[in-house]
Amino acid sequence: MTADSSLRPAAGPRHSVHLSSAEALQLLGSISLGRVVFTQHALPTVRPVNHLLDGGNIVIRTHEGSALTSRTRHSAGSGVVVAYEADAIDPVRHLGWSVVVTGYARLVTDPRELARYQALLHPWVDRTMDYAVRIHPDLVTGIRLTPANEPTSA
C-alpha cells in the first residue's frame, strides 16, 4: 500500500507563533465550530459543538440530556470550569492556527437572552437544543503555525 502523495505535508519546519488574547479571540470568532472540554465522572470529556462569540463570551447550545447542561445547572451559579478549543489547520500543509480558552461555563437562564441565542445560533445536529451555555474566557491562548522561512511578527 502506498501513501497518497497529495496528503503528505509540505516540506520544511514550522514556527509556532504565540497570539495575543485579542487576536486569538478574533480568530475564534471567525469560525463556528470548536470543541468544549469538561469533566464527566472525574474524567475529561470532549464534545464538538458550534458556537458564536458574543461580547467576548463563547455561547453554545445544549439539550436537556447533555452532561454539560446538567453540570452547569448544578453548579450553584459559580459555573463549571471548561476549556474551549477551535482551530483552522490545513491538513496537508500543517499551517494555520489553534486557540484554547479556559473559563467558567454557566447556563443562560434569562428568557430574552436564551431566545436571542436560539435565533442567532443554529445547531448543526438534528436535535432540539433548548438550552444555551455561556463560557466567560479567563485565560485565552493561541498559536499560529507558519513556515519556518516566513518572518514572525509576534
Q: Which residue has the higher pLDDT, 4 or 131?
A: 131
Confidence of residue 98 (pLDDT cuts 50, 70, 90): very high
Using alpha carbons, select from 134, 128, 143 the residue that is nearest to residue 86. 143
**Can you read off the three cell numbers belonging to residue 31?**
469560525
Q: Give the global pTM.
A: 0.85
Question: What are the extents of the domains in the chain?
Answer: 16-147
Q: Fold for domain 16-147?
A: Pnp Oxidase; Chain A (2.30.110)
Predicted local confidence at residue 1, as pLDDT: 45
Query: What pLDDT does 67 receive?
Result: 83
**Looking at the chain, how many residues does it have?**
154
Backbone angles phi, psi at 81, to 5 degrees: -70, 130
pLDDT digit string (tens) for 99-114? 999 999 999 989 999 9
> What is d(CA 63, CA 73) in angstroms, rounded to the nearest whole number?
12
What would the pLDDT profile of 117-150 be if each residue is shown by its tens digit? 999 998 877 777 888 999 999 999 999 999 887 6
Which of 61, 41, 70 is closest to 129 using CA atoms? 61
Residue 37 pLDDT exceeds 80: yes
